[in-house]
Amino acid sequence: MRAKPRTTSISKLRREALSLYRENYALAILAQQTTKKTHRASQGVERRVGQASRKRLEEQIDGSKRTISNLREHLGCSADAEILQELFVSAGEVPPGLLLLIPKATISEVCSHYDRILPEYDRLPMHAHISMDSGENRKRAGEVEIRISEAIVCEDLCSLFNECEAAHAQGWHESQKASHRKGLSAFLRATVSAAHRLLEGYLNGKAYDRLAVDRGQLEQQEADLLREWDSKRGRPGFLSLRQKVSAYQRILTGKSHPVLNEGNCPVLSRVLGSAEDTRNPIIHPSPRSEMHEFELGKYIFVADLDFAQVKSLTSDVLELIRQLEIAISGRTEQIDFWYSRIGPDGRFGEEAFR
């Protein structure tokens, strides 16, 4: 007597249907297809699966498998189902109004055709973060937010500089009102800080990108410099701005010496000098120029910043970043997303805030 084929239990079918549904929805999140409409439709799925008949469950499982196969092929997605279900859970836990941001480096590890989702994907740096929306915040499929850390800092710099320019044009530096004079001084110091944060953010982004692409091929010493880590002692190994500009150029170009140095690049010399004279005292305020000395010079110098000095530094930092990008990459494609210059009217225009 032949045994009857074993029938899958309905509870097992329900578990499979739910698992495939989550994998399917996670792929839709990756493909930027989820919207408020699909998010509403996803509510109560567990209840509906729990009430579905065997036939309905089998139909749902077959449909999910086909959709998953199509989405995986479209994305070139090789991620395990477990990883996708983690994405499903993470996206669902994001508080309303906030975004789940995933670096391009992570997406590129599991998706080989993400340029089909974002046409500009190949031009983005590896440290660019791309929004993943469960659908709760998105009205139309395909609406994506891209965050590049130095782009945000560049907008800070542009905004602060424009405030300096407006206040200076209105004569705040000569005003009888202390709130005007001191307000302009605050804007000037904040602009200096933003300019140096932009340069450091740019360099840190280049380091991240190299680590993301070649982390297994770098010498330990090179990896340590890019990570600012002392692997022998297991502790941070912070670099000064001067050390970072020099070391990162050597590592990223593969040359024995940096392409740009203080001897052949006047703008680099001026920016590094500004870091010592203005940026460091602003970030690390002290009445002494050096901890082992007793001088008043540092604080007096920083307090006397003027608009012309800050305008020059702002232009120099942006020009230095352009020259570094050409030296390292041979082109400016990856900074064109956010790079800007002071316009003919002496301000940053609207295009700086794109």
Closest Cα to residue 149, out of 197, 91, 211, 90? 197
**Taking the domains of the chain in order of start, what are their residue ranges?**
11-147, 150-353
The confidence score (pLDDT) of residue 96 equals 79
Closest Cα to residue 197, out of 158, 162, 163? 158
The confidence score (pLDDT) of residue 4 equals 52
What is the C-alpha to C-alpha distance for residues 313 and 277, in angstroms, rounded to an integer?
12
What is the C-alpha to C-alpha distance for residues 143 and 133, in angstroms, rounded to an integer?
9
What does R_g of the chain's alpha carbons equal in angstroms?
A: 27
The confidence score (pLDDT) of residue 266 equals 97
The three-state DSSP-derived secondary structure of the chain is: CCCCCCCCCHHHHHHHHHHHHHHHHHHHHHCCCCCHHHHHHHCCHHHHHHHCCHHHHHHHHHHHHHHHHHHHHHHCECCCHHHHHHHHHHHHHCCCCCCEEEEHHHHHHHECCHHHCCCCHHHCCCCCEEEECCCCCCCCCCCCCEECHHHHHHHHHHHHHHHHHHHHHCCHHHCCCHHHHHHHHHHHHHHHHHHHHHHHHHHHHHHHHHHHHHCCCCCHHHHHHHHCEECCCCEECCCCHHHHHHHHHHHHHCCCCCCCCCCCCHHHHHHHHHHHHHHHHHHCCCCCCCCCCCCCHHHHHHHCCCHHHHHHHHHHHHHHHHHHHHHHHCCCCCCCCCCCCCCCCCCCCHHHHC
Instruction: Report the Cα 292 to chain-centroid distance in Å.
Output: 38
Structural element, H or E, at residue 103: strand 100-103
**Token duo for residue 98:** 């906030």
| Confidence (pTM) | 0.87
Burial class (CB in 10 A: 0-12, 13-18, 19+), 44: exposed
For residue 119, give the DSSP letter.
T
What is the C-alpha to C-alpha distance for residues 20 and 78, in angstroms, rounded to an integer?
15
The tens place of each residue's pLDDT in the chain, 354 residues long, gives 455 555 678 899 999 999 999 999 999 999 999 999 998 988 888 889 989 999 999 999 999 999 999 999 999 999 999 999 999 999 989 987 788 999 999 999 999 999 999 999 999 999 999 999 999 888 899 999 999 999 999 999 999 999 999 999 999 999 999 999 999 999 999 999 999 999 999 999 999 999 999 877 899 999 999 999 999 999 999 999 999 999 999 999 999 999 999 999 999 999 999 888 787 777 766 665 555 555 555 554 555 789 999 999 999 999 999 999 999 999 999 999 999 999 999 999 999 998
